Structure 1
Amino acid sequence: MKLLLTSAGITNPSVHEALVDLLSKPIAESDALCIPTATYGHPMAGPGEAWRFISGQEPRTPMCELGWKSLGVLELTALPSIDHDRWVSWVREADVLLVNGGDALYLGHWMRESGLADLLPSLRETVWVGLSGGSMVMTPRIGDYFVEWKPPAGGDSALGVVDFSIFPHVDHEMMPDNTMADAERWAADLSAPAYAIDDQTAITVADGTVEVVSEGHWRQFPS
């Protein structure tokens, strides 16, 4: 699987170009599935945010409105009640999974419960585009700083698809507790590799290579 881990979606030409490079074809020729699940787990989000994401009515975090060839919705909480082979075929036929922000631990829980997490290693050419919590879920840990929804086993562990953690929305004007100084304290508690990224920054992971794409500012914290 190829990853585009963003703070706020496809917010500038550099991140847009990185997306097209990972797809290896134009967006207009690519089939997408969007995953709104994380939205429902976060205390500051609700059904309005999910609708805006799915319908492409959220210009601050563009994802679904980019002009995809086709766009469907994959709601992870519904998958355990659907025949496994049926929904797996939907995922395998998609070029890209667009994963909304919200609560990363809630998203990770339902990725495991639904079976999507187990499917990821076989999706070698599929592009995962994460937005905030949709990016953090691929990391080993999100840090206590970001824990809202409590998973059954407790802790702050995510899926560990990559070996670094992510602090999104750094220095966001509407998030006074997301300063670079806050990110530095968060990273110190993790004692592991991490990045703080603003909404004009994304991280690509392809064939084991990690690259930062940015028209804003970011910082890497070594372990």
Structure 2
Amino acid sequence: MNGADIQTEIMDRLADAAWTQLADKPPRQLHIDDIAAAAGITAAAARAATGSITTLILHRLATLDRQASLESLADIEDAGEVPVRDKIVEGLMHRFEVYAPYRQQIAQLDLAGKRDPALGLRLLDSLAQAMRMLLRMAGDDLAGLGSEGRVLGVAVVAMQVARVWQDDDAPDLSVTLKAIDARLARAEEWGRTLRVLRDDSVAGEAEAMADDQNAEMPGDGSRYQ
């Protein structure tokens, strides 16, 4: 195992331990020494490998988001020709499925982000990166001035559906799926399509949809899903 592999393993183990503890404690109560002990890594190595607890949390979120994106891609490729809208629905839905065992962690992050604006911004950026991966997986190369509008539009949908997802106790998350479809349908009814075709008019519509929905965001969902 080379140096890079060792560094990756250390970060993975520390992030996993921090993520487990996050289920029961808010981020501000997590301590690197406790995390290191749980991960079986010396405190000195843990401090050398990571600059903050937030870094470990973001590392774990990125790992889960990559897992969701790659698994969605595999499912879509197996299905053959799939419309872009269906790819977006599949990507969002599978991400909620991947995060389903971790509702407590997401709830902790949602509350912590509201109390700590710096943490909230880091988590919002993490969500935006996840939505970039989702859109690229769906076939959008994210070129052009409207690309960030498309990212924001899908991120807003994810945030709003997260509130439904947190209370969805159906084994197949059917309530969450209906919420995803309803949010996308509502956007289409407004004439703000979420199809991520490389078309300036589509990009403009997505940006307008994001602006409209962004006005609804306070108190209407999780910023981290």
The TM-score, its normalising length taken from structure 2, stands at: 0.30
More strand by share: 1
More helix by share: 2
Greater Rg by CA = 2
Higher relative contact order (CA 8 A, sep 6+): 1
The TM-score, its normalising length taken from structure 1, stands at: 0.30
